[in-house]
Amino acid sequence: MRHFSLIKIMKLYTEKKFDTYVSEYKEIITREVNSQTDSYILNVNIEEFTTYLLSKYLLDIPEILLEEVYADSIEKNVSGHDFPKHDFMLIDPGKTFRKEVIIFHIPYKGNVNLLQLVPNPYTLMSYEVNINIKEKCFLIEIIKFYPEPEKIKNQYNKEIQNLLCNYENIRKNCESFNLGLETFIRANIESRKQQVLQKNNLLASLGVKIIKKDDIPNTFSVSKPLLREKINLKPIVNEDGFKPEPALDENSYRQILKIINDVGKNFERMPSTYKGKSEEDIRDHILLILDPNFELGSAGGETFNKIGKTDISLRYDSSVVFIAECKYWKGEKSFLKTIDQLLGYLTWRNSKVAIINFVQNNEFSEILSKLNTITNKHPNFQKELQLTDETWFNYKFNLNDDKNRIIDLAVISFHLPKKNGA
């Protein structure tokens, strides 16, 4: 039994332009971000809030399921005016005639209302179709004027051609919008957060400079890092009064990691520099290069921070802005314990950290291939980022006591076999 109250007429490809629709749609998303309280924006996990809004606002792209079409038939009263005039000469076209009507049910899924939009580009054509809302089907009715099945099939194909005239363009528009939506949402959240920070006068420059000195002895042949520009420290907001604290910006963090990576590559080329050395000894070699590169701050070994001591830290006044752990690879369990140890040193202000991973095993490539899988097992793991190179992995983690406090963790591995040439 057909419930006619559930059937409506829909005009496809004739309403608002798609570009206008998504422009208004983006304004709705921006308003939702801006409607959150300052405290919420400052303390929310940006990745989780982005994921939430993405799931809420992704366009549910309509899909017409032609492979699932089915048909039935009913009898209806058909006006003589609807008969094909070139084949039927009716004496009284005002009369109605009982005729069989074939009804094709074309299932769809997704937000079918998006098919009312005018895509870009578009074919200058519209189409009016009945929709069964309950069944989620388009209904194409073809009156059986002729006994030949081929004529009914030809008419059906014409209707399908009209139904699909702008369908692919709408789908491509939706797919393109969805691809850019995560970036748009994250940018809105970050922009709002910066506005709140500025409103609370938290963007005062903290004046930390990292400068490459000209008189550093070249202990190793390390390419000179470009560290002449000033590091702008971004304040991180504490829930208690939103006090600004120093933290390395992304560019400075990358510059520090590059120095460490360059030193490690030299270790690999010069086995005599690490042979028989402990983690602390190798750490000291790295410090020989790191320490002279910084002014108004210093790199120091065994610096205490919160609950333990770290192998390498960079301090600004009384605040540690970078922490790294130097460790020999001793398997999965030991590696995950190193992450625990590193997280244990951190307070919310320490957002840039690294593990310097010395691998003595001959199966270096095998260990690298497993490193992502192992790291993902840690309960504080948030997200895997793009590789810097094949031995330099980047991740997002959350702190032990607050999943909304996100830190950057780099894992840089070096192959330092016990025997030369192993």
Q: How far is CA 253 from CA 108, 186, 232, 312, in A?
A: 50, 21, 11, 14
Q: At residue 225, does pLDDT exceed 50?
A: no
Check: CB of residue 285 under 8 Å from CB of residue 279: no
Residue 107 forms beta bridges with which residues?
137
* 246 compared with 18, residue with greater pLDDT: 18
pLDDT at residue 219 tops 70: no
- List, for residues 373-390, the tens digit of each pLDDT value: 999 999 999 999 988 889
Give the model confidence (pLDDT) of 194-206 as tens digits.
Answer: 888 777 654 433 3
> What span, in angstroms and rounded, lies between the C-alpha atoms of 188 and 40?
14
**Which residue is it, tokens 């399908």?**
160
Domain boundaries, the chain: 4-174, 202-415
Percent of the residues in the chain that have a pLDDT greater than 70, as a whole number:
77
* Beta-ladder partners of 327: 357
pLDDT band at 218 (very low <50, low <70, confident <90, very high): very low
Long-range CB pairs of 194-202 (<8 Å, 24+ gap) are 196/38, 196/41, 196/42, 197/42, 197/235, 197/237, 199/38, 200/38, 200/237, 200/242, 202/235, 202/237, 202/242, 202/244
Note the pLDDT tens digit of each residue in 83-119: 777 766 665 667 777 888 888 999 999 999 999 999 9
Q: Are 98 and 145 in contact (CB under 8 A)?
A: no
- 410 forms beta bridges with 354, 394
Give the model's confidence band at 171: pLDDT under 50 very low, under 70 low, under 90 confident, else very high: very high
- The closest alpha carbon to 350, from 402, 288, 281, 276, belongs to 402
Query: Among 144, 225, 188, which residue's Cα sits nearest to residue 52?
Result: 188
**Per-residue confidence (pLDDT) for residue 51, from 0 to 100:** 85
- What's residue 295's pLDDT? 53
Strand partners, 89: none
Backbone angles phi, psi at 21, to 5 degrees: -60, -50
Which of helix, strand or coil describes residue 96? strand
Contact 344, 308 (CB under 8 A): yes
Q: Please give the pLDDT value at position 362.
A: 86
Q: For the chain, what is the mean pLDDT?
A: 79
pTM here is 0.56
d(CA 210, CA 140): 71
Q: Averaged over 245-262, what is the pLDDT?
A: 80
Which ranges constitute the DSSP H helices of 200-324? Answer: 250-269, 279-290
Residue-wise pLDDT for 334-357, tens only, equals: 999 999 988 887 766 557 899 999
**Quick one: average pLDDT of 72-83?**
79
Question: Residue 333 above 90 pLDDT?
Answer: yes
What the block records as the tokens of 105 is 């049910």
pLDDT of residue 179 exceeding 90: yes
